[in-house]
Structure 1
Amino acid sequence: MTPQPIATLNASVPRRYMAGFVLLSIGGLLLWIGLTKPPASIGWQIYMLGMGGLALWLSVRFWQATAGSILLTPEGLFDDTGHCLVRLDNIEKVERGTFAFKPSNGFLLVLKEKLPRGWQPGLWWCLGRRMGFGGVTPPSQGKFMAEMLAMELAK
């Protein structure tokens, strides 16, 4: 039986559509320019086509990632499929200050032990002992989850 979530972090629908549109537009524009108005150098054309393809791939990855959500339970942070992102006993502290290196509208976790690198564009990322949550999420949900997480860690 899965425990009841304390807090949930979802992508904001308007932010999700806007970011997806921007990524798709950039990818399409780079491909269009690379194919119809190629630069004088073949190297630049390959670069534009590669970056356009990368932007289109990123827009698909982003759209798939932001369809999910992050759940805070008494055991830790999980995605909506039940995959454990980080356990509470591995979290050293929560940073949510103005100058913290955190995603937009989110918070940063400093971990006790390193975790494998991971990234769900617009929702979370993990690099070593740092894990950021936020991006295209509503500020209210990010703040609430960070406060609930800090309270759970203080217990």
Structure 2
Amino acid sequence: MTHTPIVTLAPSPTRRMLGTAVLGALAALLAWVAISTAPSWPWRLFLLVAAGVSIYGAARVWESAGRRIVLSEAGLFDDTGRSIAPLDQIASVDRGVFAFKPSNGFVLHLKRPAGQAWAPGMWWRVGRRVGVGGITAPAQARSMSEVIAVMLVRRDEGHPVTGPLETP
């Protein structure tokens, strides 16, 4: 990434382990029920497939929670440089109680659909919405959403998105 990070968002190691452990425990519970009880074969197969999906989900959460979300002047990226939401495409930030958003996070409304993408536990993008948060710390997510909101106001008023305000 060529832009200087303004704010970063990353889960703590404890949150990363706990999020992964919960999905791993679900997988173990599903497998145990499938093996220890005597449900019919279709149910047993369903439970084992669900356990496998839970293990896959735990691996994906572990992988994505090892990354950081970085806000720069150009927009929101992960630490590999993958674009999550370019700043010029962000229309608004919603961090309200009744917003459809990840826990401990916020949602960005984009001007145009940006395709679907997902980093479990960290962010998702569907159509014109980008949800950021999940296993991240609430204070960090709140801080990032407030910085984005300020950047949007500055952009819409014609000021540079970072740095001191120019007075006429």
What SS does the corresponding residue of 2:135 show, helix, strand or coil?
Answer: coil
What SS does the corresponding residue of 1:114 show, helix, strand or coil?
Answer: coil
Q: Quick one: distance in 2 between partners of 1:2 and 1:61?
A: 27
Give the structure 2 partner of residue 17 of structure 1. Answer: 17
Structure number with larger C-alpha Rg? 2
Equivalent pairs counted in the alignment come to: 154
Q: Quick one: distance in 2 between partners of 1:74 and 1:118?
A: 22
Following superposition, the deviation at residue 116 of structure 1 comes to 1.1
Give the structure 1 partner of residue 111 of structure 2. Answer: 112
Identity %: 43
Q: Quick one: distance in 2 between partners of 1:33 and 1:104?
A: 29
**Does 2:48 match 1:49?**
yes
| TM-score of the superposed pair, with normalisation by structure 2 | 0.88
Q: Quick one: distance in 1 between partners of 2:38 and 2:142?
A: 46
| TM-score of the superposed pair, with normalisation by structure 1 | 0.95
Gaps of 5+ in 2: 155-168
Following superposition, the deviation at residue 140 of structure 1 comes to 1.0
Q: Which has the higher strand share?
A: 1
Q: Quick one: distance in 1 between partners of 2:127 and 2:12?
A: 27
Following superposition, the deviation at residue 20 of structure 1 comes to 0.9
What letter is aligned with 1:93? S
CA contact (8 A) 1:11 1:122 kept: no
Moved over 6 A (4+): none
Q: Quick one: distance in 1 between partners of 2:24 and 2:72?
A: 34
Following superposition, the deviation at residue 33 of structure 1 comes to 2.2
- Superimposed CA distance per residue, residues 130-152 of structure 1 (whole angstroms, 9 cap, x where no aligned partner): 11000000111101100110111
User: What CA RMSD, in Å, does the superposition of the two structures yield over aligned residues?
Assistant: 1.1
Give the structure 2 partner of residue 142 of structure 1. Answer: 141
- Superimposed CA distance per residue, residues 84-132 of structure 1 (whole angstroms, 9 cap, x where no aligned partner): 1111110110000111111111110011000111110110001101110
**Does 2:131 match 1:126?**
no
Higher relative contact order (CA 8 A, sep 6+): 1
Deviates more, 1:70-79 or 1:2-11: 2-11
